């Protein structure tokens, strides 16, 4: 049988009974409620900023090499930029403090949770191939209809493609699919969950340090 003893140190006093130490800490928090809330707000903002920066680093690889089972290539940068800008912390008291992080980019949810995309107004989805993309992996045209001299045919592998005639050359531009399944790659929730215990520990340490300093 293993015995685990917990202690708590606060204001240069070590409590052998952790519960008593936490009670003393709680009582002191009530005396300096606003100041402690400011510390928590600051620590929460720093934590969420770190999460956003971690996502920026993870998904910062150039196209197409940056795409893997759990990473995204950086193309326009709109998704990560929206997450970096989204970090906000509001509220002046413990009960009111709220931190937010997320994205308003339309495709953010499917990159986070994964899912299957199906066409809404046509029979097929048009998936751009390298010849239809610039060096960053962004489409050169907003629609397959914007390309001149195109036709649809099956490749030798049996895939339905949109080709373009360029003089004597035939260039594949898009592959047509009835659906596309996107795996979850963004990892926002996973990153939050992984860092949460460290945030709680640091926030507690900083609030105790602030109260000790004020004594």
Same domain, 198 and 121: no
Task: Evaluate whether residue 47 is within a structural domain.
Answer: yes
Same domain, 94 and 172: no
Same domain, 92 and 108: yes
Contact 204, 26 (CB under 8 A): no
Same domain, 102 and 28: yes
pLDDT digits (tens, 9 = 90+) for 38-61: 888 999 999 999 999 999 999 999
Using CA atoms, how far apart are residues 91 and 112, in angstroms rounded to an integer?
28
Domain count, the chain: 2
For residue 210, the model assigns a pLDDT of 75
Contacts of 37 (CB under 8 A, 6+ apart): 91, 92, 93, 94, 97
Token pair belonging to 80? 């990560």
Burial class (CB in 10 A: 0-12, 13-18, 19+), 210: middle
Using CA atoms, how far apart are residues 86 and 102, in angstroms rounded to an integer?
6
Same domain, 153 and 190: no
Same domain, 23 and 86: yes
Task: Evaluate whether residue 135 is within a structural domain.
Answer: yes
pLDDT digits (tens, 9 = 90+) for 55-80: 999 999 999 999 999 999 999 999 99
Task: Evaluate whether residue 3 is within a structural domain.
Answer: no
Task: Evaluate whether residue 4 is within a structural domain.
Answer: no
- Segment 191-202 shows an average pLDDT of 91
pLDDT digits (tens, 9 = 90+) for 16-38: 554 565 566 666 666 655 667 88
Please give the residue range of the domain that contains residue 206: 10-114+183-214
Same domain, 97 and 197: yes
Statement: residue 196 has pLDDT above 50: yes
For residue 1, the model assigns a pLDDT of 36
Same domain, 29 and 56: yes
pTM (predicted TM-score): 0.81
């Amino acid at each position: 049988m293993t015995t685990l003893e917990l202690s708590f140190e606060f204001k240069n006093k070590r409590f052998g009974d952790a519960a008593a130490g936490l009670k003393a800490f709680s009582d002191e928090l009530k005396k300096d409620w606003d100041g402690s809330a400011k510390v928590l707000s600051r620590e929460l903002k720093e934590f969420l900023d770190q999460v956003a920066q971690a996502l920026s680093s993870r998904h910062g690889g150039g196209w197409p090499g940056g795409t893997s089972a759990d990473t995204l290539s950086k193309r326009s940068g709109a998704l990560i930029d929206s997450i970096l800008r989204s970090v906000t912390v509001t509220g002046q008291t413990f009960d009111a403090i709220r931190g937010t992080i997320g994205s308003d980019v339309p495709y953010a949810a499917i990159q986070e949770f994964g899912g299957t995309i199906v066409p809404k107004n046509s029979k097929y989805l048009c998936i751009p191939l390298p010849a239809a993309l610039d060096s960053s992996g962004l489409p050169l045209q907003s629609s397959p209809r914007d390309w001149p001299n195109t036709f649809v045919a099956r490749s030798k592998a049996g895939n339905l493609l949109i080709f373009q005639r360029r003089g004597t050359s035939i260039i594949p531009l898009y592959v047509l699919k009835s659906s596309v399944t996107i795996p979850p790659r963004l990892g926002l929730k996973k990153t939050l969950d992984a860092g949460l215990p460290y945030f709680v520990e640091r926030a507690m340490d900083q609030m105790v340090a602030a109260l000790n300093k004020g004594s």
